[in-house]
A = this chain, B = another copy of it.
Amino acid sequence: MTTTDDDRRPKYQRIADSLREAIQSGEYGPGDRLPGENELMAAHGVARMTARQALGVLKDEGLAEARKGAGVFVRSFRPLRRRGIQRLAQEQWGSGRSIWSADIENRTLVVDQVAVSEEAAPDQIEQVLGLGDEDTVCVRRRRFVLDGKPVLLATSYLPTSVVAGSAITQEDTGPGGTYARLAELGYKPVHFREEIRSRMPTKAEADQLSISAGTPVILICRTAFADEGRPVEINEMTLDAASYVLEYDFDA
């Protein structure tokens, strides 16, 4: 539980590190009570806010959970498992099932915010979708919530020339969602590319996902391609990193 002075990172991070290492080494096992704010203040000579932030990091990472009036306890990490390849298989959306339902096993992931609009395409979107300067895109912005906690922001861009007049321009896209509608329009997605990055959230992202200090976001940019390599959708997703494990299964 000691920290070194040559570490330039904030003190709450270093305290969180030492607690995390104690959890990972087994010093504190699942269900064990962690040192509380008062104990951390005494042990590290820090203010209450610093002790609280340190415990907040572990909660954000899914390593610890507060139990009202009892303290903070080590929990088993039980994130959402997002299967990148299986979940986009045609048997999912081909039979009218939402592509999201594969994520959640027995837990309920719901859209609590949705906004659909027609907009000028941002430069990068315009380039990837191969649009002209005058072309617009249908933009679908959604927030997904699990057990009341926002976990995912998703913004989809689709060429207006492809989706105009379809349910894709409505809040409710109907059975099978956007990909089933694209198939009906003659633009069935046959290939996907997912690009993944991670960084600290912006203030706006932290607010929208209820992320507190010390938790990064995972960014997934998915491009869906129809026949002949035609890109038909770009979906920019921002995930609370403490809530997700991404999984990709594939053959050599």
Binding site for B on A (CB under 8 A): 3-4, 7-10, 13-14, 16-17, 20-21, 49, 53, 57, 61, 79, 84-85, 88-90, 188-200, 202-203, 206, 212-218, 241-242, 244-252
A-B contact pairs, 30 of them (CB 8 A): A7-B203, A8-B53, A8-B212, A9-B206, A9-B212, A17-B202, A21-B202, A61-B200, A84-B250, A85-B248, A85-B250, A88-B250, A88-B252, A190-B251, A191-B249, A191-B252, A192-B251, A192-B252, A193-B248, A195-B247, A196-B196, A196-B245, A197-B244, A198-B216, A198-B217, A200-B216, A216-B216, A248-B248, A248-B250, A250-B250
Q: Which residues of B contact A196 (CB under 8 A)?
A: 196, 218, 245-248
B248-A198 in contact (CB<8A): no
CB distance from A48 to the nearest CB of B (A): 12
Q: Which residues of B contact A244 (CB under 8 A)?
A: 197
Of the candidates A57, A79, A215, A251, the one having the most CB atoms from chain B within 10 angstroms of its own CB is A251
A191-B79 in contact (CB<8A): no
Q: Which of B53, B191, B199, B245 contacts A250 (CB 8 A)?
A: B191
Q: Which residue of B lies closest to A214 (CB)?
A: B200
Q: Which residue of B lies closest to A16 (CB)?
A: B200
B252-A190 in contact (CB<8A): yes
CB distance from A224 to the nearest CB of B (A): 8
Q: Which of B89, B191, B252 contacts A189 (CB 8 A)?
A: B252
